[in-house]
Amino acid sequence: MPDIEIEKLVYGGEGLARLEGQVVLVPRVLPGEHVSVTTERVKTGLLRGTVAELQQPSPERIVPECEYFGICGGCQYQHARYSFQLEQKRAILLENLQRQGGLKFEGDIETISGEPWAYRNRIQLHFEPGECGFHRLGSNELEAINHCPISSPMLSDAIKKISEAVRQPEWPRFLKSLELFSNEQEIQLNILDSTRPIAARFFEWSKSFLPFAPGALDYSACDYTFRISRGSFFQVNRFLIEKLVAEVLGDETGETAIDLYAGVGLFSLPLSRRFQSVQAVERGGPAVRDLEYNAVHADITNIMSVRASAEDFLRRLTAAPDLIIVDPPRSGLGKDATAELLRVKPRRLTIVSCDPATLARDLKLLLEGFEIAKMSLVDLFPQTYHLETVVHLMAK
C-alpha cells in the first residue's frame, strides 16, 4: 500500500499526488498531508486513490460538521477550515487561468464570502421506496438523510419532514426526484423526475406538512421582489445575492446596457437605475415571463426583454453598448458568443462565471480585444469545490 504526499487541491475537490510518474487523485485530503492509499487505474498516467490511513494530517484539517460528509456527494471541503477553503479556491482559479487559458494573472483577486453554513435556498432530493436523500459520492445511489447543514433552516426542516412523509401511503412511489426552493417563508416544489404524472392531490397533501407555495415564489433581494416560477433560475446562496449584484454592477453607469442570460432580472432591474436603456436577453420562456412581470411590478419602463439565445442576439447587434454583462451556464460562452463580443466590442464587459476552466477558455479568446480591469472570487458554494468568478473587462 503506497504512501504519498498531497501536493495540492484541484478543481473538482480532490487532492493531487504523484506515484511512480503517475498522477493520483484522492478525495477528502488536504495539501501537505501524507496518506497511505489503495489505488485503481483510471487511464494511462492517472490513478484514483482511496485513503486507507491518514499518517500526517494538515493543521488546516477539522472535524466535518455533517455526519454524511464523505458519503453524500454534495460537499467536498467540510474537513478544511473555511479560511483555508477560500485560499485553495483562489489558488485553483489562478491555476486554471494559466493551465487552460495561458493567462498568468498577477493582479489582486478580491474574495467575497459570507456565512459558510445554512446558505442554500435550493436543493434537489432523490427518492427510493420509503427513503429520501442525496446521491452518494461518485454514484447515483441514494444516501438517505434527514437534514443538511448547508441548506437553509426551512429547507433543512423540509428534508426532515419529507423523510417522514415518504413512508406514508399518500407519497407517490413513482416520484424519483424533486427540487425545493425557499424564500424562508414558503417552499416551491418542482418535480424533476417521475415515471408517472404527479396528481394535484399530492401538492394539496404536501400543504399539510410544508409551507407550500402553490405557484411562483416571491423572493426579496436588492430592494426588489422577484417572481420566480418553476423552471426559472435564481442564485442559490441566500447570504450573498446582494454582494454578488454589487460586485457585478460595480459603479457602472451610462446610456445603454445589455444583460445576457438575464434570467428573472437579478442584474437587469438594478441596472435600470444606472442606465437609460437596458436590454435583458434570456432564452427560457418561464424566466422571460418572470423578468417582464418583475419589471412591471417594480414600475420599471426602461428595460426591454428579448427572448433569444445570447449568440443570436449578438449576431443582430450593430451598435456597441456601454456595458454588457454575461452570466452564462457552466459550459461558458463558447466560440460563437466570444467572437460576437469581440466584433461588437462594448466599452465594458463583465463576465460572471461558475466554472474556472470554461472561464479561462473564454478569456483566452476575449483578451484579443479586451483587458482585465478587475477580478473577484465570490464564494457562493462554501464546503464545496464550486466557485464563482466575476471578471470586469475593458475594451482595448
Give tens-digit pLDDT for 370-393.
Answer: 999 999 999 999 999 999 999 999
- 380: Cα within 13 Å, side-chain hemisphere: 23
What are the tens digits of pLDDT across the range 63-91? 999 999 999 999 999 999 999 999 999 99
pLDDT mean over 134-138: 93
Closest among 93, 378, 375 to 243, alpha carbons compared: 378
Give the angle 95-101-105 at the CA atoms, nearest 5°: 55
Q: What is the pLDDT of residue 138?
A: 86
266 strand-pairing partners: none
Would you call 279 helix, strand, or coil by DSSP?
strand
Q: What is the pLDDT of residue 260?
A: 98
Q: What is the pLDDT of residue 309?
A: 97
DSSP readout, 229-244?
-TT----SBTTTHHHH
Q: What distance, in Å, lies between the first and last C-alpha atoms of the chain?
A: 55
- pLDDT of 330 above 90: yes
246 strand-pairing partners: none
- Integer Cα distance of 162 and 243 in angstroms: 32
187 strand-pairing partners: 182, 212
Which uninterrupted H or E stretch holds 43? strand 34-43
Q: Are 192 and 177 in contact (CB under 8 A)?
A: yes
Which uninterrupted H or E stretch holds 143? strand 142-144
- pLDDT of 179 above 90: yes
- pLDDT of 285 above 90: yes
DSSP readout, 66-116?
-TTBTTBSS-S-TTB-HHHHHHHHHHHHHHHHHHHH-----S-EEEE---S
DSSP classification of residue 136 = B
pLDDT mean over 296-312: 98
Q: Give the mean pLDDT of the chain.
A: 97
What are the tens digits of pLDDT across the range 149-169? 999 999 999 999 999 999 999
Q: What is the pLDDT of residue 384?
A: 98
Cell digits of residue 235: 442564485
Q: Which amino acid is at 258?
A: I
- pLDDT of 1 above 90: no
Q: Is the dihedral of CA 149, 151, 152, 156 positive or negative?
A: negative
- pLDDT of 352 above 90: yes
What are the tens digits of pLDDT across the range 215-268? 899 999 999 999 999 999 999 999 999 999 999 999 999 999 999 999 999 999
Q: Are 350 and 375 in contact (CB under 8 A)?
A: no
Q: What is the pLDDT of residue 214?
A: 87
- Integer Cα distance of 116 and 237 in angstroms: 10
| Domains in the chain, CATH or no CATH each | 1-61 (2.40.50.140), 94-114+220-395 (3.40.50.150), 122-214 (2.40.50.1070)
Residue 213 CB neighbours (<10 A): 19
DSSP classification of residue 382 = T
pLDDT mean over 165-194: 97
- Under the banding of pLDDT at 50, 70 and 90, the label for residue 200 is very high
- Integer Cα distance of 139 and 125 in angstroms: 15
Place of cell 479586451: 370
pLDDT mean over 323-350: 97
pLDDT mean over 27-31: 97
Give the angle 135-136-138 at the CA atoms, nearest 5°: 105
